[in-house]
Structure formats: C-alpha cells, structure tokens
Chains A and B, each alone.
Chain A
Amino acid sequence: MTTKVLAIDDSRTIRNLLRVSLEGAGFEFHSACDGQEGVDIFPDVDPDVVITDINMPKMDGFGVIDTLRSGPNRTNVPILVLTTESSDDLKSRARNAGATGWIVKPFDDGSLVSVLRRLTGHVS
C-alpha cells in the first residue's frame, strides 16, 4: 500500500515542492493550506505521516499538533514540523505538544524522502 503524507502549509510554493518531491518518490500526497483545513481533512485522508508548518493562518502548527495529539480524534502518526524557524524554544514547544521531528526549510528532498520512508516504513 502506498504511504500517505498529509502536508499542511500555507505556502503554495512549499506545497508544490513537497508534492513534486514526495509524489516523485511514490508517496500518496495530500495537502492542506492552513492548520484548520489540515485537522479537518485528517480523518478522511488518514495519513501515515503528517508534515506541518508552524506559522499559518486560522490554526498554527502547534494547534495542529495539539489537536491531532489530544483531540477526540487523537492519533499516533508521526508529525514532522517543517519550518524556517530553528529556535530551541519553538522546538521544545513543538516537542511538548507532541511533534515527532523537526525539519528546517529549505529542505533537501532526497533526505526528506528517505526520512519519511524510514519513519513510515517502521511504523507500518
């Protein structure tokens, strides 16, 4: 079965880049353009891994992690934070909210793909 990725990012450019990298690598790619849409479509998409931005309208990345980890539809799927930020403070906030990993933009698609393969390969 193909591995499903849900990418939540308000930047169309980043969504496109992710789509190209991940679809090219054989992932099934879904995306949402803000946190709220991300958590809304999460149950339908039922992804194997979530990649989320932090700074987004409507609901930010922390909200996404919070909702996915502690809401009524809580999930154990890995959640990777993909952001330009790299401060320890934000990292620890994300970690405390329940993020699984932290990737700094810009990302190298080869590495991203192999990280995702490993994360999801082991999980499933």
Chain B
Amino acid sequence: MSVNSIRDTFFEECEELLEALVEGLAQMEDTSDDMEVVNAVFRSVHSIKGGAGAFALDRLVSFAHSFETVMDKVRDRALAVDEKLMGLFHRAGDHLADLVAAARDETELDDEIETGLVNELESYLDGDTAVEDFCFDAVTLDFDGPQIDLGGEDPVSSARVFHIRFAPSRALYENGHEPLLIFDALAEFGSLSVEADLSLLPEFDSFDPADAVLSWQLSLTTSEPETTLHEVFEFVEGLCALEIEMDQTAGPQAIELPEPSALPDEAVSPTPQDTALPQISTDVPVGVTSAETLTGKKPDPGQGKSTTAPATKELRGPKPTLRVDLDRVDRLINTVGELIINQAMISQRIEELDLPTVAHLTNELEAYKLLARDIQEGVMAIRAQPVKPLFQRMSRIVREASDATGKKAKMVTVGDSTEVDKTVIERLADPLTHMVRNAVDHGLELPAERTEAGKDQTGTIRLSAAHRSGSVFIEISDDGAGLNRERILAKAMEKGLVPPDVEFSDPEIDNLLFLPGFSTAGQVSALSGRGVGMDVVKNAVHALGGRVSITSTPGKGTTFAIVLPLTLAVMDGFVISVADQTMVIPISSILETIRPNPRDIHVVGTDSEVVSVRGSYVPIVDVADSLGLGQCDDKNSNGILLLVSTEMQGLTALRVTAIHDQRQVVIKSLESNYAAIPGVSAATILGDGKIALILDPEELIRLAHAPGHDPFAQHSRMELRHG
C-alpha cells in the first residue's frame, strides 16, 4: 500500500465521516441532549483532524480543531445548543466538507468564510482560543524528546549533577514500564551512573519474580533543567518512589558532555538509536505518590465482563469489507452481460436442433439460466449503494436555499438505506439538487404566509426512497402552497407552449412544468433559475431509464416522484414483434397483457381507437404506427394489447403483433453505437444474434400524440445485424 493509496483511503474515510457528521448534526437538531449523538459528531470531526494531520493538511486540521473544541464544550455540557449554534455547526460541517474536497483536489478555498466561521466558533470559547491551545509544529511530536531549554546559557557551562532515587512499585511493571528505558532516556541528557540497590532482594526460596524489589540510585550530570528529568518520569508517576535532588555542592560546572558511548560501565548503555522515549515522563513533583491510588482503582465490572464474552465476538464490529476498483466491477458486469447473451444463444441453438430427447438438457439449460441470473444479481449488488449520502448532501441544499430565500425549511428523509446503482446515484445528484432547491424556493411559502395559512413556520422537505416491483421510487415533496395552476397555464400559453382555448386537466397543467422553455417563477430567482428548468431534470431522469411525475394539492404541497430501474445494465423484457421486427419492451412498465375481443374495441373520431377494459375505456396506441413503421399489418387480428400506465395520460394500451418470450436482456446503449431514436430507449442482442430495439412506452405514447412525426425519417430504415 503506497502513501498515495493511504491518502485515497483517507479521503474515502473523510466522506464517510462527513456523512456521519451530517447525520449526527441532523439528530442533534432533535435531541441535542443525547451525548451519544454529540460524541459521534465530535468523533467524526476529530477523526478527520487526526487523519488530516498525518498528511500535513494544516488548514483542515486547524479548522477541524476549532470545530471540535466547541463541540467538546457541548460534550462536557459546558455549552448548551441553541438554534444559532446549531446553524453554526451545520455551516461549519459544510465548510469542513469543502475543506476536505479542496484538500483532495488540491485547490484553494476562499479564506473569508473560514475566518468568519472560526471567529464565530471561537466566540463560544470564552476567549481561550482553540488555535492557541493547539500548536501543530510542537505536536509532531513528543518523539523528538523534550525540548531542550537552553535558557540562553551555554549548555556546557551550565551542567549540573542530579541525584535520583528511583524505587519502582509492582504496579510500574504491571503497566508495561521498564526501568531500563527510563535510564536510556536519562542517559541521553548527559552522563549517567546507575547503582542498583539489591538490599530488598529476598532469599531465593521466597522469591516472587513479579515483586518489585529493586531500586536504583542514579546520578546524572546534565545541562538539562530539572523539569526535563521529571518529564522522563511522567508516565511512572504514582508507580514508584522518586526523589530528584540537585547536587548543590557540585553546582554548575564546566564539563564536556560525554558521548553516550563514554558512559560508565554501570550506566545503561544507550542503544544506538537516538530517539528519546515516547514521553514516558513529565512534571512529576518530587516525592512519592502512593501506588495504592492505582492498585486500589476498581475496574469497571461491566467492561470486565464484556471482555470475557467470546460468544458474541463474531457479531461485533463492522462486517469485513473489500475495496475494489470500480473498473473491475464494471468489466465484470460487461462480462456477465455477455454471459447472458451467450446463454440466450445457446438456448436458441439447442431449440433449433430440435433434438428428440432434450428433456434433461432443457433442465440443465434452465439451471444455467438461473445461475447466470444469480451472478448478474450478485454483481449488481456490488454496485448498489444506499441513497443516504445523496440524501444527506441535500440537507445542505435545503439549508443554503432557505438561507438565500428567507424561508424556513427542514429536511426529513425516509428509506435512505434503499440501495441504488452507483451510477444512478451519481447521475441523480444534479436533478435532485435542482428539485430540492426548487422545492424550497418555489414550493415553500415565506414564514409569515405559512403562519397565516395555519402551518408551522418551518416548512418540511421530505425525501424518500423505496424499492417497489423492480424499480426504485424516489420522492421529493414539500408541504408548501402547491402549484399555482392558473399561473402555470397562463405562462405556458404566453410562451406559446400550448394552444390557447384547450381544456387541460390538473395533472396535464402540472406536467407543463416539464416542457422545455418553461420557467415558473415570475422572475427567475438567483437560486432556482440557474438556467436549468424542469425539462432538464426530466431529461436527466429519462436518460437513466426513469420517469418523473408530479402531483400537487393546493395548500398542501407538491410531490415529485422519480421512478428508476434498479440497474442500468440488464432488465427483464417481453420479446415482441411489431411490423415484422423483433423488439423488446420493459416488463416493469407493463401492467397487463390483453388479447382483445374485437367487440371491445371502439373507434373514436377518425382513427383513434379505445378498448374497453372492465368497464373503462383505454386509448390504444399502435406501436408500429408510433415508430413510423406503418399500421399493424393485420388489422383484423387486433394483435396483443399491453396495458401501461404513464404519467402523460394515465392508462394506455399499446398494440403489438405478438409476444414471443419473456427474458432478461442486456441493455446496450443505442446512442453511443448509433444515434438516439425517439420511442426507443436502447438496444439489446437476442439469442439469435440479432439486435432488437428496446422500446420506451412513455415516449411511444408521446409520439402517437405528435402526428406527422416519423422518427425513422432521418435515419432511413434500420437493418441492424449483430456480427
């Protein structure tokens, strides 16, 4: 493991710590009294500081230290958390995240914010500024041995002789100390002579090896001040009898400091290593602290017990994990995709052979298929990540948006442990940011308006995630005033986005928001209006194979719902035929398949058809027609109807010629291999090696409502063949 990879791990760990920090701060909002939570927050900041120190990221260390010092005061209950301090903590957390990012990317951050934050933080520290307490240079540390205080004097001329009596107690040895090490440390300060006092050594038959029977009389000639000698004994304070006396008679004398090798024989010969001890020493007052203070200490019975419970051992601690380069996972996913295609091909070939007794072969083939699917699901699970970090980032957006707009907002999250493909999470960040910002900026009312409406002054932005039937559902809702439909409609008409004098249903009006070129606010605010409209959000979600829809209740709020596929690589689809072409349609979008009775189909107007399904009429969209492949060849057969539910116009029946199979298909991007085609989301390779287009039902329906549009016009007819 190289230093660089440790550095990478550090930043990865920082991400986790920042996550824990944001989560902890959110919990503090509810229960600032829970010291476990405060502790967790403290630890997050503290660990970032600790790691940053190792990489000499001074600025990060310094800020984390200021932050941590205030948090420590809260932990010690010396400081109560109020709304103002909570806000400061949030901002400090945000800034810490910025500092981590800047350190990682080796960019510089604006000092101004930091200075302001540090000043604010330090205003909670009653004058004893955090920075003064914490001096980085000095901290590197303690290994270099105690600082030599020359006091302006020539060290040679100020050498003095100290007489030290050192009598360790049994506890000293029990704490892992070793007198030799202390002598080593002393020997580095000058010339040391050591004499062992063996007077307490018992007869051999009554000898207890664990007893402390030896004591020593030392004499050290050094130019070090007495305090330095005490430092050497810092960690044995209370574990020994210790007397340090300066030899008054000797006084300062001009002696040459001997080389360590020139020490008298009795002295412990210092090892060639030139480091002093880890401060095994300091300001010990001369004299003895009773060893009883240590040995009489009662162990915490609870802790003692827990150490001897090996039964629970395996359960403790985080599960072991493995960090893997993402590229390797992606390569594996690709290979699994090929495996699935290969499996489909083998199935097909075997079928074509038309063997007489294939029963056992079919079984094994089925097992192969299941195994391939297991592998695929396993690999997908590697890429799955909880949405929690994504959601947590949104709390910052909410905070910043509410600061900028003067609206009060808090964020709640539901289901943030829901796992979604890593790429989906990454590509969802921007649209989600925009939607959350919108929710605060346009969704919520100002505090005064909310009070007037009988609501809590603070609005709630709710983010939720859940898995439902092979899809991921993400909702962003606010409890604001709801959409102003009159204004939306007026705006859309003014911009010429919709024809005038057309009756729109409420959901239809709501969906106008997604039209390109639509901007809701009367004036584009600095916050939401960053040149990004909801159409961009929609496209981004769409690019992930997802849908976004909107529901709004006046006075109660607005909800945006995003439905996404679990994975971007493989999906379950129906293999269908449309106008002699084999195509695939995602199963997740199909509610029901119907072989319609001709008498259930009615023609409305000139060529619109509806089908009666259990008493309600559902419009029929001919897929071949939508794609510009001509009408369904055999009108009389009526084909098969696939019932889908869309955001655009509710329930719709898609007419196809036939359904051939239901299978897992590997999604191959059409855009990167060919070009985007309306109504088609991607392509796949079937068992016979042919390429089949994967249809996008929503888009097909939209196309059907845009007459005269021939998606294939620019591309000529496609004859795609694999290989």
Contact = CB atoms under 8 A, between A and B. Distances in A.
Interface of A: 10-14, 16-17, 19-20, 32-34, 36-37, 39-42, 49, 53, 55-59, 63, 66-67, 69-80, 83-84, 86, 88, 91-92, 95-108, 111-112, 114-115, 117-119, 122-123
Interface string B284-306: 00000000011001111001101
Contacts of B9: 12-13, 16
A17 B6 contact: yes
A89 to B, nearest CB: 11
B51 A104 contact: no
Contacts of B275: 111, 114-115
A91 B174 contact: no
* Most chain B CB neighbours (cut-off 10 Å) among A36, A53, A95: A95
A107 B143 contact: yes
B262 to A, nearest CB: 21
A101 B54 contact: no
Contact of A104 (B141, B308, B318): B141
A83 to B, nearest CB: 8
Contact of A73 (B13, B234, B293, B307): B307
A103 B235 contact: no
A102 B232 CA distance: 12
Given A39-B307, A63-B300, A79-B176, A111 B143 contact: yes
A101 B308 CA distance: 26
Interface stretch (B39-47, B95-103, B386-394): B39-47
A98 B297 CA distance: 10
B13 A11 contact: yes
7 contacts: A77-B176, A84-B139, A100-B177, A104-B142, A108-B143, A112-B143, A118-B273
* Most chain B CB neighbours (cut-off 10 Å) among A13, A42, A53: A13
A74 B317 contact: no
B273 A99 contact: no
A14 B54 contact: yes
Contacts of A39: 303, 306-307
A111 B144 contact: yes
Contact of A17 (B54, B143, B176, B303): B54
B635 interface: no
Nearest to A59: B303
A92 B279 CA distance: 12
A16 B6 contact: yes
A71 B304 contact: yes
B176 A96 contact: no
B134 to A, nearest CB: 8
Contact of A67 (B140, B180, B237, B304): B304
Interface string B7-30: 001101100000000000000000
Contacts of B40: 57
Contacts of B13: 11-13
The 7 closest A-B pairs by CB, nearest first: A111-B143, A78-B176, A70-B299, A13-B51, A101-B278, A106-B53, A100-B176
B238 interface: yes
A104 B136 CA distance: 10
B50 interface: yes
A104 B293 contact: no
Contacts, number: 194
Nearest to B314: A40
Given A53-B50, A67-B307, A107-B143, 13 more contacts: A13-B54, A33-B317, A49-B176, A59-B303, A66-B303, A72-B307, A83-B50, A98-B294, A102-B142, A102-B235, A103-B278, A111-B144, A119-B181
Given A70-B297, A84-B46, A108 B140 contact: yes
Contact of A102 (B54, B238, B278, B294): B278
Contacts of B359: none
Contacts of A69: 174-175
Given A56-B43, A57-B43, A73-B308, A33 B139 contact: no
Contacts of B177: 78, 100
Contact of B181 (A20, A34, A58, A118): A118
A40 B316 CA distance: 9
Contact of B317 (A37, A83, A119): A37
Interface of B: 1, 3, 6, 9-10, 12-13, 39-40, 42-43, 46-47, 49-51, 53-54, 56, 139-144, 171, 173-178, 180-181, 184, 234-235, 237-238, 271, 273, 275, 277-280, 282-283, 293-294, 297-300, 303-304, 306-308, 310, 313, 316-318
A56 to B, nearest CB: 7
B317 A11 contact: no
A71 B299 contact: yes
B143 A40 contact: no
A122 B139 CA distance: 27
B139 A86 contact: yes
B661 to A, nearest CB: 48
Nearest to A32: B317
B685 to A, nearest CB: 42
Contacts of A14: 50-51, 54
A98 to B, nearest CB: 4
A106 B143 contact: no
A13 B10 contact: yes
A38 to B, nearest CB: 10
Contacts of B142: 86, 102-104
B50 A11 contact: yes
B419 to A, nearest CB: 22
B143 A103 contact: yes
Nearest to B301: A71
A10 B149 CA distance: 36
A123 B174 CA distance: 12
B184 A118 contact: yes
A29 to B, nearest CB: 12
Contacts of A56: 43
B271 A107 contact: no
Contacts of B282: 88, 91
A55 B303 CA distance: 17
Contact of B141 (A49, A73, A79, A103): A103
Nearest to B139: A104
B54 A66 contact: no
A61 B363 CA distance: 59
Contacts of A77: 176
A107 to B, nearest CB: 7
A95 B278 contact: no
A86 B279 CA distance: 11
A101 B277 contact: yes
A84 B53 contact: yes
B303 A100 contact: no
Contacts of B238: 95-96
B140 A106 contact: yes
B184 A105 contact: no
B139 A101 contact: no
A66 B300 contact: yes
A2 B507 CA distance: 73
Nearest to A37: B317
